[in-house]
């Protein structure tokens, strides 16, 4: 469960994982402000739902439906659309009409806690079921539509991008692949994403997460997706304390040379304790067993 990513954070995550995307503005409305927030809450988010459009129409037509919606269901119908060539349409940012009612709570809890085996508990509800015991999924999940019928294998390019896209969002939130489910695992009326086995998809997503976007290379420390501002601030403060500690030795020499060095030594000892705490905090962040100051 997490605060939804901003539009900028989504793009950073996708760039980090080499997800090709198209940003859209239609009739003066940018995808960044295209949502259904006026009719319901958005967030906290618990995971990602993988959908399909249930047709093999041209991708541009599927995109238009996902953006504008249908006569019985206003758009946007998802946050992202996945084309056959593996590119992603940025469609919505916020609440979208994609998940509907489902669950119930046992499914949501299993996804939130990532506490299930190959598959989450079977859903018992669908759109139109009473709330509760059904759960509103539109406020709780990101969703993306794969532009295909679901009756055959999706293109290799679309599948590969779907894996990287899910990995990008999961990494940004600190989730494992078990935060990704199919719509058929949320609603007992749905079959999407078609013949895709979600256990296999989750295994591929987890393998991608384990390897990392750069084949296992560590991310740069100034990456705001992997290292949020708070953690970087903590690292910077701990590093500053470590630098200050290096000055303590020379300060101690000056204090001991003073006629009233006993009083000064007391202040010095207290300062060293605080600085040592800073060094230990830095060590914990980096998994280092740092020796204590004597």
Dist. CA 110–CA 123, nearest whole Å:
11
The pair of three-digit structure tokens given for residue 128, joined into one six-digit string: 């139109």
212: left (phi over 0), alpha (psi -120 to 50) or beta: left
Over residues 218-272, the pLDDT tens digits come to 455 555 554 554 455 556 555 655 666 666 666 666 666 665 555 555 555 655 5
User: Whole-structure pTM over 0.75, yes or no?
Assistant: no
CA distance 103 to 138: 12
Spatial distance between the Cα atoms of 93 and 24, rounded to a whole number of angstroms: 11
Residue range 127-151: average pLDDT?
A: 96
CA distance 18 to 30: 22
Q: Which residue has the higher pLDDT, 71 or 242?
A: 71
Q: Using one digit for the tens of pLDDT, what is the confidence trace for 175-216? A: 999 999 999 999 999 999 999 999 999 999 999 999 999 754
> Could you give the CA distance from residue 281 to residue 233 in angstroms, rounded to a whole number?
12
One-character DSSP codes across 38-84: GGS----B-EEEEEE-SS---HHHHHHHHHHEETTEESP--SEEE-T
Rounded Cα distance, 294 and 99, in Å: 59
Give the three-state DSSP class for 142. Answer: strand
104 cis-preceded (ω within 30 degrees of 0): yes
CA 174 – CA 227 distance, rounded (Å): 11
Selection from 17, 9, 3, 7 nearest residue 166 by Cα? 17
Report the distance separating Cα 50 and Cα 165, nearest Å.
11
Identify the CATH assignment for 7-211 out of 3.30.230.70, 3.40.80.10, 3.40.190.10, 3.60.70.12: 3.40.80.10
pLDDT band at 290 (very low <50, low <70, confident <90, very high): very low
Upper half-sphere CA count for residue 139 (Cβ side, 13 Å): 10
- Residue pointed to by tokens 């690292």: 235
CA distance 179 to 140: 11
**φ, ψ (nearest 5 deg) of residue 255:** -65, -45
CA–CA distance, 66 with 184 (Å, rounded to integer): 19
**What would the two tokens of residue 144 be?**
């993306």
pLDDT of residue 135: 97
d(CA 195, CA 214): 30
Residue 288 has what pLDDT? 41
> Do residues 170 and 74 lie in contact, with contact meaning Cβ atoms separated by under 8 Å?
no
CA distance 95 to 76: 8
């Amino acid at each position: 469960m997490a605060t939804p990513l901003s539009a900028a954070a989504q793009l950073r995550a996708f760039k980090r994982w080499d997800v090709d995307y198209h940003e859209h503005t239609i009739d003066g409305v940018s995808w960044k402000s295209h949502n259904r927030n006026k009719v319901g809450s958005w967030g906290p988010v618990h995971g990602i739902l993988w959908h399909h459009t249930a047709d093999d129409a041209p991708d541009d037509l599927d995109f238009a439906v996902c953006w504008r919606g249908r006569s019985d269901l206003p758009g946007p119908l998802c946050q992202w659309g996945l084309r056959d060539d593996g590119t992603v349409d940025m469609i919505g940012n916020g609440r979208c009409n994609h998940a509907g009612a489902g669950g119930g709570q046992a499914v949501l809890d299993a996804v939130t806690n990532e506490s299930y085996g190959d598959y989450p508990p079977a859903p018992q509800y669908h759109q139109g079921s009473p709330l509760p015991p059904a759960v509103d999924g539109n406020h709780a999940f990101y969703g993306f539509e794969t532009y295909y019928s679901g009756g055959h294998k999706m293109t290799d390019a679309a599948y590969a991008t779907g894996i990287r896209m899910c990995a990008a969002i999961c990494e940004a939130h600190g989730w494992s692949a078990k935060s990704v489910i199919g719509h058929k695992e949320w609603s007992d009326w749905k079959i999407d994403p078609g013949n895709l086995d979600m256990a296999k998809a989750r295994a591929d997503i987890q393998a991608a997460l384990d390897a990392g976007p750069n084949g296992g290379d560590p991310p740069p420390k100034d990456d705001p997706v992997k290292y949020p501002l708070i953690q970087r601030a903590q690292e910077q403060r701990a590093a500053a304390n470590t630098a200050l500690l290096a000055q303590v030795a020379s300060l101690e020499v000056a204090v001991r040379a003073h006629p009233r060095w006993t009083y000064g030594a007391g202040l010095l000892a207290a300062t060293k304790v605080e600085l040592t705490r800073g060094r230990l905090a830095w060590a914990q962040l980096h998994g280092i067993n740092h020796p204590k100051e004597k």
